[in-house]
Every structure is written in C-alpha cells, then in structure tokens.
Amino acid sequence: MANCIVCGEQGIVAKKHICTACGNQDEIRTYCEKCKTRQQIPREEGVEFLRKGGLDIDQETGIVIIKKICDVCTPKAEKQSIKEVFFLTPENMESVN
C-alpha cells in the first residue's frame, strides 16, 4: 500500500494519494509539517491565505495547504508560510473504487 503524499500515513490503496483525513473535495484543509495538526478552515480564509502567499487560484474547495508551522504549535508566529499546496482531484484522493 502507498502512503498519503501529505501526512505520510499508509493508505488502503496501492497508488500515491491524499488520505481522507488530510483532504476533502468540499473543503479547504491545512496540515502542519511541524506538529502534524490538521484543520478545516473557512473557504474565504483559505483563499485569502493562498493569495497572500502569492497564489491566485480559481478553485475554492478541495484544497490541502501544507504549512511549515501553524497557530497551534507556534501561536505567536507572524508568518505561517506555505510549504506546498495540493488541489484535489478524483485521481489523487484515497478511494477503494
């Protein structure tokens, strides 16, 4: 079985994927590389965070943002930088179908 490309946990499918804990087609979620925290954030907040990070996007849901640090592990950090962004598709979501 292959690992999730976001958190690294082993999945139930043989191909690289984004697990259902890290991503959802109808939401914007974040994953913190430092403390491993996953958070679902409001659409407007996620889109604004990406735009401030220099990404002008059309897709407004089905997004996973990997942060280097987050407000949970580093509450007073002025900048929570983006490490990587994934846009979910049926091909990269974990599925047994």
Is the model more confident about 4 or about 81?
Answer: 4
User: pTM of this prediction?
Assistant: 0.84
What stretch of H or E contains 51? helix 43-52
Predicted confidence at residue 95, as pLDDT, reads: 52
Per-residue pLDDT tens over the stretch 7-37 = 999 877 778 889 999 999 999 999 999 999 9
Amino acid identity, residue 64?
Answer: V
Of 46-50, 56-60, 67-71, which gets the smallest average pLDDT? 56-60
β-pair partners for 4? 17
